[in-house]
Amino acid sequence: MIDKNQFRGHEQLAYFHDKESGLKAFIAVHDTSLGPAAGGCRMWPYDNEMDALNDALRLSRGMSYKNAMAGLPLGGGKAVIIGNSKTDKTDALFKALGRCIDSLGGAYITAEDVGMTEQDMMMIATETDYVAGLPQGDHASGDPSPFTAKGIYNGIKAAVKYKLDKDSLEGLTVAVQGVGHVGQYLCGHLHKDGVKLLVSDIVQENLDYAVEHFGATVVATDEILSVKADVLSPCALGAILNDDTIAHLKVPIIAGGANNQLASDSHGIRLMDKDILFAPDYVINAGGIINVSGETTGDYDVNWVNEKVENIYHTLIHIFERANQEGRPTNIVADEMAEEIIASAKSA
């Protein structure tokens, strides 16, 4: 496992199994050079523990880069619970996870992610102070999804400006894969700008909401990655840009909120070769962790949060320009920029 490519640069990896509650979870701490590791907790019915481990390792590394590129005083970490978020949630399970997080002594701060809710975070918080994104309490900021969506919206505008030389999104077509919390908020921003929306999701009620409130057109889940549009915005799970899907893409821009959209770094090269502009996911989807960072300071300031979220636009423009100048894929350029920031913190 230590030889695995994902396990590079990680400071700590913990596996927790609480027999009484049934909790099985990994917590990965990638880097704390910039501050305590922060990243959401994900609950997912992984097929096996190795899949969960790989997810924790990839996502925690992504959080280090995300926090560095967003200019936050936080390192990168991630927690993953092996379980079905629809059937396996119990108070005992989340209390057990809270004790696990607390045992790390502040090296990792958790927040809401896929399969988790604000109420789940409140239960975890009964056992540890190292929780953010709470709906109530001192300096609580609540659900980070609106801020994540606003950052993606800003990122789409940056990509459209750079690639299509358009200052407005009006009249463009955006295909959104996944219209859960983040996807719905994103569709709301795009709809107000006069965007034609194509949407897909595995949950029918999410699709119904998008159709009713945003006039969206539903596309089958196995077709959304091959539709003709101005922007493809993946907002579900990762690894959707691979050898099979890239061959069928019919968009000039990919800019969405899903983590780890590229199945491997080499797929960034494939996108560049097809003249598709890719907005690195951990840069464009940083709005949620920016909001969480504002909460962890103990002096939450929504104006500071909004300013940081707006800056995602400028950060992406800088990445696009550097990638173009150097003739390299945007994902590799963004990685190097993040590593430069982390290395500078280490030396300091």
Is the pLDDT at 1 greater than 80? The verdict is no
Per-residue pLDDT band at 114 (split at 50, 70, 90): confident
Give the tens place of pLDDT for each residue, 209-249.
Answer: 999 999 999 999 999 999 999 999 999 988 899 999 999 99
Q: Which residue type is seen at 316?
A: L
Which one of 2.60.40.420, 3.40.50.10090, 3.40.50.1100, 3.40.50.10860 gives the CATH number of domain 12-64+74-124?
Answer: 3.40.50.10860
The domain spans of the chain are 12-64+74-124, 145-285+315-339
> With respect to CATH, is domain 145-285+315-339 assigned 3.40.50.720?
yes
Nearest Cα neighbor of 10 from 44, 43, 53 is: 53
CA distance 285 to 280: 9
Give the tens place of pLDDT for each residue, 266-285.
Answer: 999 999 999 999 999 999 99
Contacts 24+ apart (CB under 8 A), 11-15: 11/37, 11/107, 12/104, 12/107, 13/53, 13/56, 13/57, 14/100, 14/104, 15/53
Q: Note whether 210 and 187 are within 8 A (CB).
A: yes
The pTM (predicted TM-score) of the whole model is 0.90
CA distance 310 to 346: 27
CA distance 20 to 69: 40
Give the tens place of pLDDT for each residue, 249-258.
Answer: 999 999 999 9
Region of residue 51 (phi > 0: left; psi between -120 and 50: alpha; otherwise: beta) = alpha
CA distance 256 to 235: 6
Q: Name the phi and psi angles at 215, rounded to 5.
A: 65, 30
The CA-based angle 159-250-191, given to 5 degrees, is 55
Give the tens place of pLDDT for each residue, 57-99.
Answer: 988 998 999 999 999 999 999 999 999 999 999 999 999 999 9
Domain 12-64+74-124 and domain 145-285+315-339 have a common topology: yes
Give the residue numbers annotated as catalytic, written as ranges.
78
| pLDDT value at residue 138 | 59
